[in-house]
Structure 1
């Protein structure tokens, strides 16, 4: 496909692509959607978040969009989420009147806790989402011309839809494409027309007090058929999210709204039928503008498990944390080698494919689906699983036989492989190296495993694993620290790496160890751009890719936590305040931030960034209240 001429879209200046941070995120915990500021749905995959897209304009302006709003495309006056929800409210002033659009993926009954399925079986019907994207528009003053345009293109822009009417009243139509295996139904109180085969459109003049709706559905769940019914379904979804949020516990603090938005975002990235949490809702949003660092993040990373459980337990969402742990346990015991990532349904095979027909976001190519890193050797996975089970058990003081079997298996893997090189936490595509962070996670597997063995009264095994943990720790301290007493990226190098910030967070060494403080301060002073943290300097690391990166927001929030842990409270608080000021207008984050412009880069919204935010904000709040910092060792009560 070819991009439109630059500058043709007045809403975004000289680029036809909206800034990544301007997208709003919707979810029903099965499907996700991203909506640009002009009201266009530009990313939506069906029937679930890792399926092929039906609206893909985020990656190619010809790959499908869906808009409902003022006929004159302009920037909205205001956008916000209705507080405590994932229902988007957009207000427009046209010069003749005001209209308000509400957008939501209708929530299903996933708040009825206690219902779950295996990662390898279909969820029960009563946990399914409604499978309806609902959009309502209401004129609140004056009069405004309203326009609906819906142009789905199935299979990542490869299969244009063909519309046909349902019935004879011109208010309902279905879109199909040969081989797509999916049917979209558009139901509205606007009179629908077709332009060619692929565009369904509607126009009307709304006067003060009048409203219209459009519902896009893709399963047997009935959509609303009147504006009044649509309002009721929207209100139910608002209440649904707010009731779910009320189940958590949040400190009374000026930053609590960031905690709430982050946990809502994490819930939205959860695939309810299995409990898996996707790393992001998108694929191939570039880490480097116009570059090749474009990856598919619609999968679950095992390395995120410990942070996920910590964040969910800290905010009172034990059920969600347990669901994610059960997903991991189901996956680990499914009979295949533990990988660094899995599909949200638990599948292990994630073959990487390049979609050469797509232009890419703002010209960034290639566009990839699947992720070849799933086959990498990455030694952090064993520690992530064992420490997650340890956190889970720490709240219950009970380790069942199934979990114990997993612990024994993963500790054994860590002890057999910790001396070997791997691809590291950042999944570099260069030659395997002896990455310090990977060996720290192998230490984590042995150390937390020893604690769990003691709980099981397996005292001989606990002693063996403690000795192994001590051996790994001694090796890291001998080979992974430079002459300044600073932890480096890999053995035999002097390169700094932000993953060393996990050393105090995971409790590898006490906070008052001089090597810990020296490392945190070295990263803060030498691996930052305008206070924001780089993963590593690309000219010092063989990651087999071209181009520079922006600063990694995950790592910047890690630095906040690490600064608090080593006692640099004021510096950590100031950095946290700066990072929160760089959030999108809807309090969402991509993976990276361009330090010179504040532009968000990478897939969006990024789960790991929001997990790190929760940890950092909670650390700052505790410090302000004179409480000791928390590390991810499960010793403290949440």
Structure 2
């Protein structure tokens, strides 16, 4: 039933830098995968309210309201329950793991009453392996419960004694529907909680002091990390929340950034555009380098560039070129797509897909985004070793040979290969950045060839990517369809932001792709993409539009649209992939692309407002000010 599902936007995100959980505004964890982002779910009621599994906490009163917020400058989530009888707070967090990959992950749910009294009910109903694997329940008196499948386990540790102290009413535990139910009452000032742990630990009675120690350590980590930001612009709170969201989606052992922590959330409710985004796209993560360096997070940018160089060194060497478009967070590339027929999907949006069949597509743009991030990292002192340069040179030789090959494109369409303008333009970026690095660092390269092919790409785009009748750059040479991906042309330096050809393209997009502040990727009716149904506007493109307007001298308009876009965030400042016409969030949530684009738009817009439109990129300027 649709009423059993919260809105996609009605969630907060918590995590430990190896996996993450979604908590809805009513205090239910309805998405949680262990031990990694891309592992099967143990709580997945977001994709099937009946069979997915959940961990809910709610007050046993008839009339109450909830509010949700993050503890300032942290990723600790507070859900407040307010009634005439009392006010309670559920505090959710995961102690951060910065070291090696581990199967041991802890999720703490701390409960307290701040006014009056409240009786709470907590239901812990896991469903392992996306609800496909049965489990056993092993209660341990006064300590907790262990849920086991033979291969995987989840342990519930109780915090404090079995009697919820002070209230003289025992916390009652009972078995319900393959899970357990805990009921108890708290008075004002009283505190209790539970800790979930993966990895096979036996249940133990955890003390309040240990729970509070973990809370303070987690708070200290996030506040220290947040204080490292160098951003001092107009939108500090918004940018800080987006930065912490990106950090939550970073797999610390490898430095890889997942596109989103969720799978199967629909781009159109009831439709088939339901993809698994729990992987690292070369494109998305490469754009994150610009965002991270713009905020001063050099270590995170360096970790991803190292991960990227490892992928380049491996050189897939198959039909998709030296690089695959996406990988698992550990760098492996087994992403076979399957449909989970046992799950009904979010509000009956089927099929629910895990894995991603687009992983073997040829998408030429990834080479431009990868090289732009490597070049940008170099300007900040993260120089390549010799072996890395050799691999890059080989990759760019491949780009020289293949830039004119038909491909699937940035939007991963399933309607056949085309000669997409964006893919060609990004091949130009790849060769341009390679040429700059070779000259700057005196590295060996076939510069004559690289320059010749770079210039040939430029000529091809101007001849075939430009549509004279439309007065605009178009999606591919055989169409007149507009494509919002081309909004980054001035950002990447391919066209001047005041070039008449570019201004005409921007005007055409204003008329066809822009709805108030919201921007569509393209018009599927005019450019069939091999999928049924429609989709919402793409948040990434809306923030690219802000940047394009600012660079083209439309600063007042850019600032207003940026502010309008902030009104589409959820109550915690989080964005999904897309926004529907009524403002609802659609697609996987939260989406890294949306948040890194917000950061980049904020940093660039600040700089343009302070220095005038069309000036040098602020992130590049940072490198220059440091003497690099």
When normalised by structure 1's length, the TM-score is 0.91
Aligned to 1:193: 173
Deviation per CA, 1:85-139, whole angstroms, max 9, x where unpaired?
110011111221111111001123x2xxxxxxxxxxxx647xx697110011111
1:389 counterpart residue number: 374
Total equivalences in the alignment: 606
User: Which of 611, 617, 623 is equivalent to 2:602?
Assistant: 617
Structure 2 matches for 1:183-582, cutoff 5 A?
183-189=154-160, 190=162, 191=171, 193-196=173-176, 198-219=178-199, 225-253=206-234, 255-337=235-317, 338-396=323-381, 398-458=383-443, 461-483=446-468, 484-582=470-568
1:98 is aligned to: 87
CA distance in 2, matches of 1:73, 1:41: 21
Name the SS of the counterpart of 1:15 in structure 2. helix
Deviations 1:531-572 (A, max 9, x none): 310001110112110111100000000000011111111111
Task: Give, in whole Å, the separation in 2 of the partners of 1:530 and 1:555.
Answer: 13
SS of the equivalent of 1:98 reads strand
C-alpha separation between the residues in 2 aligned to 1:634 and 1:216? Answer: 41
Instruction: Report if aligned partners of 1:30, 1:129 keep a CA contact under 8 Å in 2.
Output: no
- Equivalent residue runs for 1:34-73 within 5 Å: 34-62=22-50, 63-72=52-61
The structural deviation recorded for 1:305 is: 3.5
Shift of 1:578: 0.4
2: CA distance between counterparts of 1:398 and 1:214? 46
Structure 1, unpaired ranges of 5+: 1-5, 7-13, 111-122
Residue 125 (structure 2) pairs with residue 151 (structure 1): yes
What are the Cα deviations for residues 439-479 of structure 1, in whole angstroms up to 9, with x where unaligned? 00111111111111112325773343122211100110000
After superposition, the C-alpha distances for 1:596-628 in whole angstroms (9 at most, x for unaligned) are x10000000000010110111112211222255
Paired residues of 2:607 and 2:618 also in contact (CA < 8 A):
no
Distance 1:460-1:182 versus aligned 2 partners, 3 A rule: closer
Match of 1:177 in 2: 149
**For the Cα contact (< 8 Å) 2:54–2:126, is it kept in 1?**
yes
Change (3 A) 1:106 1:74: farther
Q: Does 1:84 align with 2:64?
A: no
Q: Paired residue for 1:140?
A: 114
How far the C-alpha of 1:635 sits from its partner, in A, is 4.5
C-alpha contact 1:284 1:367 (8 A) present in aligned 2: yes
Q: 1:148 & 1:419 partners in 2: Cα distance?
A: 58
Residue aligned with 1:324, SS? helix
Distance 1:459 1:630, change over 3 A: farther
Distance 1:367 1:298, change over 3 A: same
Q: Deviations over 1:136-166 (max 9, x none)?
A: 1111111111111100010101124321122
- Mark the CA change 1:512 to 1:221 in structure 2 (over 3 Å): closer, same or farther: farther
2:173–2:183 contact (8 Å) kept in structure 1: no
CA distance in 1: counterparts of 2:107 and 2:615, whole angstroms: 40
Give the stretch that moved more between structures: 42-51 or 297-306.
Answer: 297-306
Taking a change above 3 Å as real, the CA distance of residues 240 and 553 of structure 1, as seen in their structure-2 partners, is same
Distance 1:305 1:96, change over 3 A: closer
CA contact (8 A) 2:30 2:43 kept: yes
Change beyond 3 A, Cα 1:630–1:383: farther
The separation in 2 between residues aligned to 1:350 and 1:203, in whole angstroms, is: 42
Change (3 A) 1:205 1:324: same
- The answer to whether the 8 A contact 1:383-1:444 is kept is yes
Q: CA contact under 8 A between 2:172 and 2:184: conserved in structure 1?
A: no
1:343 Cα deviation from its structure 2 partner: 0.5
More moved, 464-473 vs 277-286: 464-473
Please say if residues 553 and 614 of structure 2, whose CA atoms lie closer than 8 Å, have aligned partners that are also in contact.
Answer: no
Counterparts in 2 of 1:328 and 1:608: CA distance versus 1, 3 Å: same
Please report the RMSD computed on the Cα atoms of aligned residues, expressed in angstroms: 2.0
SS for the counterpart of 1:77 is: strand
- Cα distance in 2 for partners of 1:333, 1:25 equals 34
Shift of residue 519, structure 1, vs aligned partner: 1.4
1:494-543 Cα deviation digits (max 9, x unpaired): 10010110111111112221111211222122212233100011101121
Of 568, 580, 586, the residue aligned with 1:601 is: 586
Distance 1:462 1:221, change over 3 A: farther
Kept in 2, the 8 Å contact 1:589–1:600? The answer is yes
Query: How many Å separate the matches in 2 of 1:44 and 1:227?
Result: 24
Counterpart secondary structure, 1:496:
coil
Q: Which ranges in structure 2 are unaligned for 5 or more consecutive residues?
A: 163-170, 318-322, 624-628
Question: Helix, strand or coil for the counterpart of 2:264?
Answer: coil
Q: Classify 1:88/1:430 alpha carbon distance in 2 versus 1 (closer, same or farther; 3 Å).
A: same
| Residue pair 1:136, 1:213 contacting (<8 A) in 2 also | yes
Secondary structure of 2:490 counterpart: helix
Residue matched to 1:163:
137
Say if 1:70 and 1:94, in contact at 8 Å, map to a contact too: no
Where 1:556 maps in the other structure, the secondary structure is: helix
Counterparts in 2 of 1:27 and 1:195: CA distance versus 1, 3 Å: same
Q: What is the alpha-carbon distance in structure 1 between the residues aligned to residue 104 and residue 76 of structure 2?
A: 15
Distance 2:605 2:495 in 1: 21
2:244, 2:285 → 1: CA distance? 17
Counterparts of 1:214 and 1:621, CA distance in 2 = 44
8 Å Cα contact 2:81-2:87 kept in structure 1 = yes
